[in-house]
Each structure stands twice: as C-alpha cells, then as structure tokens.
Structure 1
Amino acid sequence: MTEAGRDIPALVRSQFRSALPAKLGIALSGGGDSMALMNLLHDCFGSGEVQLFAATVDHGLRPGSADEAVAAGTAAARLGIAHEVLHWTDRPQDGNLQAQARAARYELLCGWARQHGIPVLALGHTADDQAETVLMRMARASGVTGLSGMAARRTHKGVTLLRPLLDVTRSELRRYLESRGVDWAEDPSNEDTRFERVRVRKALEHLAPLGVTPEVLASIARNMSKAREALDWYVFLAARDLAHVQAGAVVLCQRKFRTLPVEISHRLLVRAVQWVSGAAYPPRRVPMEKAVLAARSGSSATLAGCRLVCTAKQVWVCREYNAVNGVTALPGQLWDGRWKIFGGDAKGCEVRALGRQGLAQCPDWRATGVPGPVLEATPAVWRGARLAAAPAAGMANGWSAETAGSEEEFFASLLSH
C-alpha cells in the first residue's frame, strides 16, 4: 500500500486482464520508474506463475551508462530475475537525439523479447509521463488520437508493449521504493532543458496550483482514449462500406468518402496511408488535412511515401514510385516490407518496382482495372534490365505476387492501437 492508501501491486496486476503470459519482459533502465516496475512485478508474480526477464539498453551516450546498466542487472539478480544488457551500436544521426534513442530502444528491446519468446514487454511509463505527453501534443494542436496519449497496450513488431503504471504517479513510485529500501539511478539528462520533455516537466510544476496536475492530464488522456475508440469503431464501419484492397492499395469509393464526417474521413485516410506505407506513426495533421481535401475533390497528392490517385469513381491510396525505386529483394523474400513474389525460374532474377518503363512492356495492364501509377509501384521480376514478370500488371509468366497483409487484416488494423 502507498501512503495514500492505494494498493499499487493490485492495480498493476489488474492491467494483465485474465490471461497471464508465461514469460514477461521488463524494460529496466535503472531509474526510479523502471526499478519500481520491476519490484512491483516481482511482488505480483514472484511466486513463479509468470517467468520474469529484464533487459537494459545502454545507449552509450554518456559516461557512466555502462555502470548503471551493470547496477540494474545487480538489482534484477537480487530478485532472481534474468537480466541482459543491450547495446546501441549505431551512432545517432543529426536531428532529434531523444527520438532516435527511443526508436533504437524499442527495436533492441522488442528484438530481445522475440529472441527469448517473450510475448509481453512491460514499460515503466507513469501518469507523469502521460501528462507530459498530453501537454506536448497540445502544443502541436493534436486531435483526439494525440491527446489520448500513450496507449496502455499496443503491439510493436510482434511484441505486446504494456504500460501498467499509467495511472500511478512518479511520487507514488518513489514512496514505494523508499518503503522497500530500494535505490535507483537518476539520469542527468532529466534536468537538461534542451529537451522538450524536460521543459514540459518543469512547466507542470507551475500548472499544479491551477489544478492542472499529472493526475488530471492523465485522466484527460483516458477520456480521449475512450473517444478515440468510438471514432475508430465508426471508421471501421465506414471502411467496411466503402473500401477494399486491390494490388496492394486501399481503394475508396469517392462518392461515399465525400459524404463522411470530416473526422471520420481523416482517420480512415490516415490508417490507409499507414497500412500501405508500413509507417508506425501517422503523418502530421496539416499534410493529412490537405490529402483529405485532395481525395474529396478528386485531385492527387503524395505524402509519407504514398500517393493518392483519383479516378472518376475511386480514390486509390498506393505506394509512391519514388519511395520504392531502388528497393530490391530476391524472389521469395519480402519486398518493401509487404510484398512476396514467387514462382517461375528465379535464377538471375531480382525483384524491383515495375516503374513506368516496365509498365510499358505489359500489354494487358489496362485489363486489370488498376491505374497505371498504382501498378508502377508494385513489384516485378527483373532479369538484369529485362522484365521477366509483373503479376499485378497482368504479366504473370508463371509468377505470383501477394501482399503480406490481407484485406481483412487492413480492416482489423482500424481497431488496433
């Protein structure tokens, strides 16, 4: 129990619903939040009903990070939890350092989880983190999805990411650790005001007297999450009525799309672009709003590696040729992260985008009913400079091309977060 009387272990356990995973991973930085998470999960499942594993990502960006990773491993060992240190070997590029480090952290942790057969990875984000996220997104004039904050549960590359502490404040976790005599490390970057999140954290201290507290902002995120779920349901129903998948593109009935409420059409187009491009995050709202207007007016647009191609009655959301020009794979391998092409004699062949020149060599492409710009970004089999097959463009020659995701999986993606 905390000083406020809340049973935090019971709250954490409730986040796992009815079915417990056989193995549970813990993202352990060694800071107060993740140390509390590890100890709480040990309180909940230390009896052995769930096998716990922990991993620490050492980004190697500052002196002492290696020692902190070792200390985190020592803390895990005291609880009998297997621990591994993961190293970020790619050096950061110019740009947002925190965003690059975060992306690398998720890649390393999810790769580690898959390697060890761990289906669920627990993250230590708190109500304070949620509040900071909401404030940052308010500054960007985000809509319902942005203001719903971080999802309590989502899937990333086959691993379920679970945030069981989103309703718990940082101060509650510190009291919990102190009551158990557990030490933790303080990351000096948490005081570096060059980072937006740190500035927002400090701003929250001045907002508290006005009643704008982490708990209030986290509650707003929960309310927005409920609104998002309702909107997603109506997007799903709309997609069932006016969308289908063809030649790797999402195809919308333009007449019905025009009649949708603006927010529903916006969200449907966002999810179509994400599904076609494979992007984890949606495009910015302003370029998306321009794309929605283009789709409604029957004009074309490009964004996020995708192209909107409007015909007399349809809107095709397809891959942009420039985004896949130069992407190669061997037959049978995944091309552009979403296509598989197989069959025929693969000797000396590689898979590349069809392109305009390749399309000109497909005499029956118009019979497919697919617009030329859509087909140009589909995979074709090339033997050197010679086109051997283009299944999507009606030139199969014994070859087949399939997208890794089916039409039903597109519809299902509209309800997943």
Structure 2
Amino acid sequence: MAVSGGGDSMALLDLLRQWGKAELAVVSVNHGLRAEAEDELGLVASYAAQHDLSHDILQWHWDGTGNLQNAAREGRRTAIADWAKANQLQHVALGHTKDDQAETFLMRLSRGSGVDGLACMSELRERDGLTWLRPMLEIAREDLRQHLRDNAIPWADDPSNEDPRFNRVKARQMFETLAPLGLTTDRLAQTAAHMGRESDVGNWALNTAAQNYATLDAGDVVLDAEAQKALPEALYSRLLAEALSFVSGAQYKPRFRALRAAIEAGQPTSLHGCLILPSKQSVRITREFVAIQETRCHVSELWDGRWRLIPPEGLDVAEMEIAALGEQGLREIDEWRSLGRPRPSVLASPAVWHGEKLVAAPLAGLKNGWQVRHLPHTSVFGTTC
C-alpha cells in the first residue's frame, strides 16, 4: 500500500495491519519538493520496521513543466504502479477519505464538471494493470486521526495542506462557510455518490450507443451519421468524447466547450490529438498526424500506446523503427486508395522504417509479410486490426 506519513495513510496502514487478512508491502514516494519529506517518510519507515513490514521509498523529480500538483500526482501513480508490478503485486491501497470525496466534488463543481466529473471516487478502480483500492471513502478524516491518537501512532501534517494557493485547500476552507447551508462534508459526499450512480447509467447508455452506432476501422472509430439525430445530445457528446479518448489514448476526456464546438462545426476539426472527419454517411475519428509525427520506437515496442507490428519470421529488425507513414511513405504506396480510408487516416497509420527507407505499412496496403495488432486501452469500442 502507498503511505505518505500523513494521518490518512498511516491510519489505513495500521487498520490493514490489525485486520491481518492481507500481506502488506509498503511504499512511499519522495517528491523532492520539501526538506521535511525525509522526516515524514521516516515515520513510515519506523512503523514498518516496528511491525516487520517491507518498506520502499521511491524518488520522483519534477521536470518543471506543467502543473506541479498534477505532475506530482501522475508521477507518484506511475512510480507506485511500476513498483507494484516489479514486486508482483496486484492491488494498491490508497488512503482517501470521505473528506477527500467532498473536496474533490467541490473542486470539480467549480470547474463546471458534468455528471462523470462530479461522480464519487470509486472504492475500486482498474488501471495500469493493477487494482487500486480506496477502502476508507466512507470514513471521516478526524475519525482516522482519533484512531491514531488512541493507538499512540505519530503522523505528519504536510504544511502544503494549509497553503491557500492550492485549490484543494481553498475547497477545504469553504466548508465552514457552506455548512450552515447544509452543504456539509457528509452531504457533499452523499451527492457525489448520487452522481456516481447516474454516471453508471450514463455508461450503460454509452455502451448501448457504441454497439448500435459505432464501428472500428484500422484503429479509427466510425460513428453512423444518424447517431447525432437519434441520440440525446448528452449521450452523443459522451460517445464522441469516448471515441476521441480511445483513438488518442488520452486518460482524460476533452473539455466540454471544445467538444461542443467540434460537434457544431460540422466540418473537419482537430481535437484531443485526433481529427474529426464528418461526411454524409459517418463521422470518423482518426489520429492526427501532427500529434504523432515525432513519435518513434523500436519495432519490438508498442507505438503510440496502441500498435504492435510483428515482422516476418527470421527478419533482422535490429535497426528498424516504427513511425507514422506520413507524406514521404504515402508517395511510395499506390494501394492505399483502394482501401476506402481517408488520406489523413492513412498518413497517421504506423509504418516500419529502416532509416529513411519504408519497409512496411500494413494499414496502408504495404504488408511485406508484416502483421499489425491494435492494442488500445480498455474501451466500449473493443479492438480491431
């Protein structure tokens, strides 16, 4: 399980240890942002040593780009996922509480999130090949602090939790103002739970819409042109957003305003690393070439997070790479026109290169014995070659 030294995760660690029905391995991440972090992780190390538990400390360093909190969160998740896989673990427990649930709801409400964004954090989530567990989402933070006090277990309070520059701290400070209106932590967490159930309904409808109106073609999602007329506006928007995330491999959906603008445009539009290509018969969502024109990897690796190219048996591939076909490759292939796919889709398809020489482009009609496998993230659209 992941333990920072803060009260929530220290309490969860002690509760799981007392429960005694799981074999525990403990991991902490030092973000290198505060000198106090070493002392805080020392509390975790001391507890682990006292109870004969393994404890690893991982290092993460910010590269200075993007939002610091978002980067730290994603960097921490990736580091913990890699650690879990290296140790052949299948589950990671996290110390989120009812208070975190309410704070997250308030923060997302301020951003104008819809049902999915306002839905409660789930107690169980599959991601990165692991099951992430949040067993304390119905427990208040203060109740966990009391457990620590009753058992004489020390914990550390991160001073950034009181820094009003951070939105989560602002949300936490708003509770005193909102409580007289009945907007307590309990009530906000309850509303998030209601939204979670509504999100489940929306996901069921999304699956049904995908089965009825969506097909896959060489990694593209093709929506029947009738879908926009036949489906409620919110459901069509959800379907298109899911298609954009599926094709781009992005973890997050596009912003609502940009999505609505793309729908209303009714013409080729760039969004979320994809191109939306409407026609009388369909709306095709394909990868945008400019989003992956610099993406290269060895042929033994997964390209663009979703394509595996398999060489003919016995071929020496040591110096071969996968990159997008692009204009240079397209000029060498006449067969692509007979495939019935639009030019932008073929341009962004994976190809095998040996230096500047095109070796194969299976999705453009140049196979030369190569096979292609589409391995996207789990989605309502499934998979295809």
Q: TM-score range by the shorter chain?
A: over 0.9
What amino acid is aligned across from residue 336 of structure 1 in structure 2? D
Q: Equivalent residue for 1:168?
A: 139
- Kindly provide the CA deviation profile for residues 283-318 of structure 1, in whole angstroms up to 9, marking residues without a partner as x: 222112222334xx3x21111211112233111111
**CA RMSD of superposed structures (Å):** 1.8
Q: Is the 8 A contact 1:389 1:396 kept in 2?
A: yes
Per the TM alignment, residue 68 of structure 1 is displaced from its structure 2 partner at its CA by: 1.3
**Range that drifts further, 321-330 or 383-392:** 383-392
| Alignment-derived partner of residue 357 in structure 1 | 328
- Give the match's secondary structure for 1:137: helix
3-state secondary structure, aligned to 1:337: coil
Separation of aligned partners in 1, 2:299 and 2:150: 59
- Decide which of 335, 342, 345 is 2:310's aligned counterpart: 342
Q: Does 1:308 align with 2:280?
A: no
SS at match of 1:334: coil
- For residue 75 of structure 1, the aligned residue among 38, 47, 54 is 47
Q: Could you tell me how far 1:227 is from its partner in structure 2?
A: 0.2
Overall identity of the aligned pairs, in %: 41
Q: Distance in 1 between matches of 2:64 and 2:70?
A: 11
Pairing partner for 1:246 from 207, 211, 217: 217
Correspondence for 1:270 among 237, 241, 245? 241
Are 1:401 and 2:367 matched, yes or no?
no
CA distance in 1, matches of 2:72, 2:300: 33
| Aligned partner of residue 85 in structure 1, secondary structure | strand
State how many pairs are aligned: 380
Which residue pairs with 1:21 in the alignment? Answer: none
Contact 1:309–1:374 under 8 Å retained in 2:
no
Q: Hey, what's the Cα distance between the residues in 1 that align with 2:224 and 2:89? A: 42
Say whether 1:384 aligns with 2:359: no
Question: Structure 1 residue 347: deviation in Å?
Answer: 5.5
Aligned match of 1:280: 251
1:366: how far off? 1.9
Q: Deviations over 1:192-244 (max 9, x none)?
A: 11111111111112211221111111111110000000010011011001112
Moved over 4 A (4+): none
- Measured after TM superposition, the shift of residue 148 of structure 1 is 0.5
- 2:11 counterpart residue number: 36
Superposed CA deviations along residues 388-411 of structure 1, whole A, max 9, x for unmatched, are 2211011112112221139xx532
Using the alignment, how far apart are the partners of 2:253 and 2:364 within structure 1?
29
Asked if the contact 2:292/2:348 (under 8 Å) is kept, the reply is yes
1:78–1:222 distance in 2 versus 1, CA, 3 Å: same
Q: Does 1:257 align with 2:228?
A: yes
Q: Could you tell me how far apart the structure 2 residues matched to 1:304 and 1:212 are? A: 35
* Residues 17-416 of structure 1: pairs in structure 2 closer than 5 A: 26-44=1-19, 46=20, 49-88=21-60, 90-294=61-265, 297=266, 299-344=267-312, 345=315, 346=317, 348-405=319-376, 409-411=378-380
1:316-367: per-residue Cα shift (whole Å, max 9, x none)? Answer: 1111101110111222321111101122443643211011332232211122
Superposed displacement of residue 385, structure 1: 2.1
TM-score, scaled to structure 2: 0.94
Aligned counterparts of 1:219 and 1:410: Cα–Cα separation in 2 = 28
Change (3 A) 1:199 1:92: farther
Q: CA deviation at 1:103?
A: 1.0
- Please give the per-residue CA displacement for 1:58-106, whole angstroms capped at 9, x wherever unaligned: 1110112112112211112323322111111x33414421111111111
1:68–1:387: structure 2 CA closer, same or farther, 3 Å change rule? same
Query: Structure 1, residues 375-394: CA drift from partner, whole Å, max 9, x if none?
Result: 11111122322322211011
Letter in 2 for 1:185: A
Residues 277, 304 of structure 1: 8 Å contact kept: yes
Q: Secondary structure at the match of 2:156?
A: coil
Letter aligned with residue 199 of structure 2: R
Give SS of 2:297's match: coil
